[in-house]
Amino acid sequence: MDVIMPQLGETVEEGTVSIWHKKVGDQITEGEDLFDVSTDKVEMEIPAPASGELVEIRVAEGETVDVGVTLAVISDGAAATATTASAATAPAASAEAPESAAPAAMDVIMPQLGETVEEGTVSVWHKKVGDHVEAGEDLFDVSTDKVEMEIPAPASGELIEIRVAEGETVAVGVTLAVIGGGAATAPAVAAEKPAPATPVAATPAPAAASTRKVSLRDARGNPLSPVVRRLIAENALTPEDITGTGRAGRITRKDVLAFLDGKGAQPAAPVTDARTPVPASKDGRTVVPFDKIRKLTAEHMVRSKATSPHVLQAVEVDFHSVERARLALREVWKQQYGFSLTYLPFIAKAVCEAIAEYPRINAHVEGESLVLFDQINLGIAVDLNFEGLVVPVVKNAGVKSIAELAKDIRALSDKARNKKLGPDDMAGGTYTISNSGTFGTLITAPVISQPQVAILSMDGVSKKPVVIDVEGSDAIAIHPVGVLAQSFDHRAIDGAYSAAFLKKVRECLQDNDWRVDLA
């Protein structure tokens, strides 16, 4: 069975394999976690679609592919049985061949670790020339700048030649080694190429001895792959900080990530090499590595700024009518629903009413076209206790009452903070609202969530003197006042259209009798 990149929502077209929980050759059970997929907003574990053996991984960790692309293959055992039967007949056929015939041999090539990967580095050989290998057992490790993976032997036989040594980087498709069917061939070939057969010594050789790229090693003499070295350098670590769980205590990518997750990238010993980055908590600096959510958010925000010409507009809103309804129903609401009624569902309702008159706000840019949506799906930005931001979506918000919007927003926020969001919770947003008002901000210029064309920021609401009409005369009253700021994509709409939309939102909030809406 093919394992494909799932559809993580209606508008999501691609995903990134962030981690494989199984490796080639593992037995898996239907429903257990197989791999993690991440988008610019969410990361989730994907279960195995069937039971069997994981016989192939086609997309490596860190690679981004389109929905529907085959990521891996699970076998129920029938294919393996056929292969074994075929292999069992091979020796007999060889025995019948003339003595002068050369034993069957198979090239071991640099695999394609993802659609865009063009080269890889052999980080370690698990076998040496002359060893017998079994099809499917770990033969060598390959690393790129994003992933490190153990590669199984493609066939059984003798490892008669190693052509690419540990630490060398070569293009996809290059022959790394040769597996032969006869042991007699191995000694002769090994004698011709003795150097790769023996691991490089732990003490470095003089630079003039070889011009090839040699991997760095830890204190035990185990090689450090490029991805491990990169993670160690970026997070101001040393190999001595990390306990390796690989073969012979070798440090793997997972070991570094586990250290970062568990200890916040703080090294156990000072780093004295002036060429390495300053470690955490040294010389008055603390290094805080980006987690996955922060990395994805950063990438999405940079891409949005590069894609859309952002323009900011803002209006001041008198929330007196909203506050009157909130105060009137505060106790009854809290008793009935168990949480407080905030300004946010009122703003969401006003946005939906305004979109009905200005539908180009509720749209996506696709190529050189603007796609308008009949259904309003409101993205609500949720802060994860200062550890990231996610945007779950209230579906079909345009037909919902304030009470329904309030309950939906609350439920999605709770799921987000408890890490219970599913793919559908994050998919299909057509317009987004961000709320920084709880921190008393004055005005915020939010970044558009692509491919949407606008995003609204709700900032702090505070009591201010305002001019009101009292029986035809001006008077001063103290009302709750706040700012709503909208960033819009100037490719899709112009300033006048955005301003008219904001004016309508303000009128709804100020003029509606919200007590009637909540009755």
Tally Cβ neighbours within 10 Å of residue 517: 13
Q: Of 386, 314, 274, 352, whose CA–CA distance to 512 is shortest?
A: 352
Active-site residue among 76, 145, 291, 494? 494
Q: Are 457 and 484 in contact (CB under 8 A)?
A: yes
* Long-range contacts, 97-102 (Cβ 8 Å, 24+): 102/185
> Quick one: DSSP state of residue 277?
P
List all residues 6 or more positions away from 206 whose beta carbon is below 8 Å from its beta carbon.
none
| Dihedral (CA of 467, 468, 469, 470) sign | negative
* 132 flagged as catalytic: no
* 320 flagged as catalytic: no
First to last CA, the chain: 54
Separate counts of helices (H) and strands (E) for the chain: 12, 26
CA gap 65, 273 in Å, rounded = 39
Cα–Cα distances in angstroms (integers) from residue 245 to residues 217, 252, 258, 342, in the given order: 15, 7, 11, 50
Residue 206 preceded by cis peptide, ω within 30: no
Question: Distance of alpha carbon 519 from its chain centroid, rounded?
Answer: 43
Q: Of 76, 83, 74, 194, whose CA–CA distance to 130 is shortest?
A: 194
Cα–Cα distances in angstroms (integers) from residue 286 to residues 128, 185, 267, 295, 384, in the given order: 43, 57, 11, 18, 22
Active-site residue among 145, 261, 414, 490? 490
CA gap 136, 89 in Å, rounded = 18
Q: Of 224, 162, 222, whose CA–CA distance to 193 is shortest?
A: 162
Q: Of 169, 168, 122, 156, whose CA–CA distance to 141 is shortest?
A: 122
List all residues 6 or more positions away from 39 whose beta carbon is below 8 Å from its beta carbon.
8, 12, 14, 15, 16, 296, 426
| Dihedral (CA of 201, 205, 210, 216) sign | positive
Active site residues: 490, 494
